Amino acid sequence: MNLRDANVVVTGASTGIGRATALLLASKGAKVTVAARDDTRLRELTAEQPTITPMKADLTKEADRAALVAAAGEVDVLVNNAGLGWHGMAEDMPADRLRELIELNVLALMDLTHRIVPGMLARGRGHIVNIGSIAGYVGVPAEAVYCATKYAVQGYTDALRRELSGRGVKVTLIAPGPIKTEFLARATTGGPAPEPGALDYGLPVTTVSRAVLRALTRPPFLPGYRTITVPRIGGWSRLGSIPLISHATNLSVRSRVRAELKKREAAATG
């Protein structure tokens, strides 16, 4: 796809992967509309790149999703990046956080896609890019619900790609491993990180934004196959689903679970 003047929507763009992706696609001449809840950071982003159009939106709300689609117009590219995590044992997860993760990570992604795909089909062109995770292949202790949402994104993306094959609309899954964003900070505290920028460990966010660009502008490595792992070498993000590696992973993370339980016991006893 030629991104010059392409109409692009990037969700969850106030920080991290979404922010880097919006800046990169705008630098290639795309007209980018960005959506997020953090209005302050959206304004900072558009100050850095004035060709980006900000829209404050809480994508867990149907009205905000509808407003975003209406404001964006005829969308050529949708990058579904918005997502939340929650860190802790599954039995301790509050019901409202459970609902919020599913609504944002799964329902919002699907609903935005369903609102935009009919227009793409009518024009005979378009590209949906869903940001998944290594957690869509491997269950991670203390992140059970987050993993469930990313498994859902993986299955949805694979099926949708087959539904739209040959109809002019491409569908890609980007599956990152650990990336240096604010994700873990937000997952632990439930709120924004105290300052923007890279607070976690892992690869820089630009490794993912470049993968998005590659998906949009180059043919897939194998015909009909549109899953890109980050890092790309050997499909690293998928290795944990191999039985022997999965068993080794189980052994290695038991200490993490035990530490979590000890922390809870200590808190209970004062």
Please report the pLDDT score of residue 122 as a whole number: 98
Q: What pLDDT, on the 0 to 100 scale, is given for residue 238?
A: 55
Residue 247 in any domain: the answer is no
Q: How many domains does the chain have?
A: 1
Give the global pTM: 0.84
- Residue 9 near residue 33 (C-beta atoms within 8 A): yes
Question: Averaged over 17-44, what is the pLDDT?
Answer: 96
Does residue 130 register a pLDDT over 60?
A: yes
The answer to the question of residue 158 being in a domain is yes
User: What pLDDT does residue 234 have?
Assistant: 46
The chain-wide mean pLDDT, for the chain, equals: 85
Which domain does 176 fall in, by range? Answer: 7-238
Q: For position 146, which CATH number holds? A: 3.40.50.720
- More confidently predicted of 177 and 242: 177
204-213 pLDDT, tens digit each: 899 999 999 9
Beta-carbon contacts of 77 under 8 Å, excluding residues fewer than 6 positions away, are: 1, 3, 6, 7, 8, 9, 25, 30, 126, 127, 128, 129, 216
Catalytic amino acids? 146
For 131, the 3-state DSSP assignment is strand
Q: Is the pLDDT of residue 178 over 70?
A: yes
> Please, which pLDDT band fits residue 179 given cuts at 50, 70 and 90?
confident
Domain membership of residue 257 (yes or no) is no
Sheet containing 7-11: give its strands across. Answer: 53-56, 31-36, 7-11, 77-80, 126-131, 169-176, 227-230
Q: Is residue 260 part of a domain?
A: no
The pLDDT score that the predictor gives to residue 186 is: 59
CB 106 within 8 A of CB 152: yes
